[in-house]
Structure 1
Amino acid sequence: MKAFHEVRSYDSDFMVWHSNYENIGFLAHWHKEIELIYVRSGSCRLSITDVNFTAHAGDLAVCESGQIHYSDSHHMDNSLDFIIFDTSILGSLFENPHFVHPLVTKEELARYGLSDRLTGLINTVSSELEEKKSYYQEVVISSLQTFWFLLKRFHPRTESSSVPDNRRTRMLADFQNLLSYIDDHYADNISLEYAAAGMNFSTGYFSKIFKKLMGINFVTYLNLVRVEHAVYELRNTEQKFTEIALNCGFNNIRTFNRVFKEITGCTPSEFLLLPDPDTYKRTYYNRRSEEQEFVKHDSLTLIKNFD
């Protein structure tokens, strides 16, 4: 179980997915696939790696393979198209293009001559995946490849010679290693000081960088990981609450109950009484409203919010 390392389920071994959602936000997560986010209408706030920006209708956000990304778009109406696809779609020698900026504005798309190609790509991927006619995979692959390589041709990229020694790139790699460590050692006493020392940062600087990359602070993230594993044990074992709390890194049952309710909206006892406890799947959003609706039909990190 990799908390917030999203491992996507596809309908088949053809690893391309598309969907459209309205008025959503999603938690910080990362995956090996490439993610294209097209703003069909409205606006949304996005963070990709350590770049924060607002995308408007007609803009495209590109999340390259392995990049941490999240959206905090509360009070912003929008309609977003998502296309997520495995890097193998682009060929066995794929490398991240290292775009200078993850946002491709409406004006840039028009200047590149890609506006109609992008809407055509979305329509093609959507219809071909749904209808699955003869050679639909080949049609989708050729459409994705054509758009992707044209985007690489036009959209500014970091000089490839500078990428391997880039300090920012190394820092992000270390950061992902830290997240993987947390995934494996969530039951241990992982303090803020310990995590900061592992990155060779002061606690203050580490806290600032963590919040910028993840959208939440270190302690909240650690608690999210621990609660995810606690949810799994509640659903799949007969262990007592105290045992689960200790197994998942909580020092006492009182703290476990408090944190569990803060994150899931109910106590462990209440959770077990839910008619469908499986609706909780690594989804969390800072509760600015009491009512939430989990987005159906895909991403484990997407969630709808209502006032």
Structure 2
Amino acid sequence: MIQHQTSNSCGNYNYNAFLYSDISYSAHFHKNYELIYVLKGTVELSVNGKPDVLKPGEMILISPYAVHSFAVDGKSKIWVGVFSEDFVLSFSKANSQISYSKFKCGLKQEAFLKEHLFFQGQPELYLAKSCLYLVCSECLKHAVAFDMKSSDEFRNRVIAFISENLSDEITLGSTAAALGYEYHYFSALFHRCFNMHFKEFINMFRFEFACEMLLHTKADIAFLAVECGFQSIRNFNRIFKKFSGHTPTEYRKQLQSED
């Protein structure tokens, strides 16, 4: 199953950076950009079904909604930064066709990034912007565009549409129409790309969005049900319990007990 990381899909100037070793993430996507830089060892990764390996000093910039996964063994170490598009808005608006870019900076650029960006924590806003625009400049020299003849573009359009309309009623038919596809062709293409039923995919999105809202807001359950696109509190409880084993109320109490 492809996971939607909602924590990396919301908020203005959302930025998180971590140092990882001996870790793996299965196929997932989010609205934010993701930058991976290899400090030592190697990283096996896949972006939109295309496998690759990163070596020391190499980095990859992964665009919003691209499905990706990676694995790092105990002998390797990487820096991973995930940031919303408002950090690099001019680049984002002009280069929405880019799927990902794998590259290696010059020595001076790499030294600058090591000093001001490649650490666990958040740099000052304008310094972060300058570093990330430097990355974007290098990215453009090696960027790989979405393959319009493959499932890349379809997958990203579907994910973007669902993410932006989650609180509305979304059906397979309405999504196909909004994206300009014939119903049966869209259905077949969706199953081939995501390997799951459309309704299950929507419910997964809504569940993950609800988890984020339960964690970060004090909104009541009735409001959350509507905001996440569920038809009723009863339906909200049923689907939430299916994915988590708990009702939304039980889940929130569990979160509060862990604080």
- Into which bin does the TM-score normalised by the smaller protein fall? 0.5 to 0.7
Structure 1 residue aligned with 2:158: 175
Q: Which has the larger radius of gyration?
A: 1
Residues 199-258 of structure 1, C-alpha deviations (whole Å, 9 max, x = no match): 4134122222345xxxx6533331123335655479532659xx959x9536894x7555
Is 1:236 aligned with 2:233? no
Is 1:38 aligned with 2:37? yes
Once the two structures are TM-superposed, the CA of residue 75 in structure 1 deviates from its matched residue by 9.0
Match of 2:136 among 145, 148, 170: 148
Structure 2 residue aligned with 1:102: 100
Q: AA paired with 1:149? A: S
| Cα distance in 2, alignment partners of residues 147 and 38 from structure 1 | 11
Match of 1:207 among 191, 201, 217: 191
Secondary structure in 2 aligned to 1:62?
A: strand
| Cα distance in 2, alignment partners of residues 171 and 19 from structure 1 | 31
Match of 2:244 among 240, 261, 264: 264
Secondary structure in 2 aligned to 1:102?
A: strand
**Preserved CA contact (<8 Å) 2:222 2:233:** no
**Preserved CA contact (<8 Å) 1:89 1:141:** yes
Residues 147-187 of structure 1, C-alpha deviations (whole Å, 9 max, x = no match): 4324434x2566xxxx9xx67797467425531464131xx
Structure 2 residue aligned with 1:300: none
Once the two structures are TM-superposed, the CA of residue 36 in structure 1 deviates from its matched residue by 1.4
Once the two structures are TM-superposed, the CA of residue 24 in structure 1 deviates from its matched residue by 4.5
Once the two structures are TM-superposed, the CA of residue 193 in structure 1 deviates from its matched residue by 5.0
Structure 2 residue aligned with 1:29: 30
| Cα distance in 1, alignment partners of residues 144 and 68 from structure 2 | 23
Secondary structure in 2 aligned to 1:263?
A: helix
Match of 1:220 among 190, 200, 204: 200
Consecutive unaligned residues of structure 2, counting only runs of 5 or more, are: none
Secondary structure in 2 aligned to 1:224?
A: helix
Match of 1:114 among 106, 110, 115: 106
Once the two structures are TM-superposed, the CA of residue 260 in structure 1 deviates from its matched residue by 1.9
| Cα distance in 2, alignment partners of residues 217 and 44 from structure 1 | 29
Tell me: CA distance 1:143–1:178, structure 2 relative to 1, closer, same or farther (3 Å). closer
Sequence identity percentage: 15
**Preserved CA contact (<8 Å) 1:36 1:82:** yes
Secondary structure in 1 aligned to 2:117?
A: helix
**Preserved CA contact (<8 Å) 1:37 1:83:** yes
Is 1:184 aligned with 2:176? no
Note the aligned Cα RMSD (angstroms). Answer: 4.8
1:88-99 aligned at under 5 Å gives the runs 92=90, 95-96=94-95, 98-99=97-98
* TM-score for the superposition, normalised by structure 1: 0.55
Once the two structures are TM-superposed, the CA of residue 259 in structure 1 deviates from its matched residue by 3.3
Tell me: CA distance 1:54–1:257, structure 2 relative to 1, closer, same or farther (3 Å). farther
Secondary structure in 2 aligned to 1:69?
A: coil
**Preserved CA contact (<8 Å) 1:46 1:69:** no
Tell me: CA distance 1:73–1:209, structure 2 relative to 1, closer, same or farther (3 Å). same
Q: AA paired with 1:30? A: K
**Preserved CA contact (<8 Å) 1:39 1:79:** yes
* TM-score for the superposition, normalised by structure 2: 0.62
Tell me: CA distance 1:171–1:277, structure 2 relative to 1, closer, same or farther (3 Å). farther
Structure 2 residue aligned with 1:68: 65
**Preserved CA contact (<8 Å) 2:20 2:78:** yes
| Cα distance in 1, alignment partners of residues 221 and 125 from structure 2 | 44
